[in-house]
Amino acid sequence: MQTEIDLKLLKIINTLVVSGSVTKTAKLLNLSPGTISYSLKKARTLTGAHLFIRTKTGMKPDTTARELSQRYHKFAGLNNDSAFTDEPLASKEITVMTYSLVEMMIAKIAQHSEIKKQSYRYTFLPYNNNVSLRLENLKNGQVDIDIGAKLPADTLISKVKLFSCPVSVLVKRDSALDTQLTLDDWRNHQHAVWSVFADYYSENILTAKSAMQHINERNIAMISASIINMVAFCASSDCMMIIPDYFAPLLTQAFPVKRLLMPPEMEIKYDCYLHFNNSLMENESALNVANAITTLLRKGLSDTYPHQ
């Protein structure tokens, strides 16, 4: 980041961080919206960063914009701790990219006293398997929390493992199949594939190759990113689908399906991680929310599978 950014430009950036609106910033500083836009373009050229992402709830600052806002507070002799004490409602928002099932769980635990008292609004974005896109969304501030498959290491992003669990199979509740599948059961039935999962793995090096081969050779009847569509399809047909055990209780309670063990030759697992931009650590209330979400999601797993 270049340092030759004058105090006037820093003030504009700081005001936009706090207000979340170009129009409000212009009004507060007695400038035209065009001047604010021009100044923002100049700041982007100087820093090489995008600085703000336009969202439905306003202009969302990235890490660089927040750093420049803090710099303004330092130069102007203001108390850094007060940088975000007057945040508008739009900035009291946490944007989460995750699976629809995790979204359902977060929506439920958002009513927990530890989370509810922080008075945040939650915006959920559809999960995307594109690793580069997920990383970019986190780094530019468009996503605050990403929950899903593990992302590559990045200096701007932190991660914690939420859970690791076995993978099982869902079939309709009145299916003749019982308890554990055989390889013949696996081969003789059609499969529904939830396309957002691609990171299943085996802990046994001797069976890893054959397990992945059996998965790749499935007789696939349907592929969809919608877990609801896939489970509903299995509930009304003879198709089966693989699912991380973590989600099985939620699905077997909501749909007429049951959980079966994978064939012994196909023991595979799935890991899930929570990722967040390091700038989240600068906001104590948001960090408390992220920590509470992590704790409660893990508790959901331990209550269902105490052995995990």
**Distance between CA atoms of residues 267 and 200, nearest Å:** 10
Q: Is 287 or 268 the better-scoring residue by pLDDT?
A: 268
Do 222 and 233 touch, CB atoms closer than 8 A? yes
- Which tens digit of pLDDT belongs to each residue from 242-264? 999 999 998 999 999 999 999 98
Residues 50 and 119 sit within 8 Å (Cβ to Cβ): no
Contacts of 155 (CB under 8 A, 6+ apart): none
- How much is the pLDDT for 226? 86
88: Cβ contacts below 8 Å, ≥ 6 apart: 18, 19, 20, 58
Query: Do 196 and 99 form a contact (C-beta atoms < 8 A)?
Result: yes
CATH of domain 163-270: 3.40.190.10
β-bridge mates for residue 148, sequence order: 273
* β-pair partners for 55: 58
Tell me: the pLDDT tens digits for 160-217? 999 999 999 999 999 999 899 999 999 999 999 988 877 888 888 888 888 889 999 9
What pLDDT is recorded for position 88?
A: 40
142 contacts: CB under 8 Å, gap ≥ 6: 53, 55, 60, 95, 136
Q: How far apart are CA 11 and CA 26, in angstroms?
A: 11
Backbone conformation region of residue 27, classed left if phi is above 0, alpha if psi is from -120 to 50, else beta = alpha
How far is the first Cα of the chain from the last one, in angstroms, to the nearest whole number? 45
* CATH number, domain 7-88: 1.10.10.10
pTM assigned to the model: 0.68
Q: 144 pLDDT exceeds 80?
A: yes
Helix (H, G, I), strand (E, B) or coil at 35: helix
pLDDT digits (tens, 9 = 90+) for 55-99: 777 788 888 888 888 877 777 655 444 444 444 433 477 889 998
The mean pLDDT value of the chain amounts to 83
pLDDT average, residue stretch 14-37: 85
Extents of the domains making up the chain: 7-88, 90-162+272-304, 163-270
DSSP state letter for 262: P
Q: How far apart are CA 146 and CA 156, in angstroms?
A: 13
Report the alpha-carbon distance of residue 108 to residue 124 in Å, rounded: 14
Instruction: Specify the CATH superfamily of domain 90-162+272-304.
Output: Periplasmic binding protein-like II (3.40.190.10)
The amino acid present at 279, given as its one-letter code, is: S
90-162+272-304 and 163-270: identical CATH topology: yes
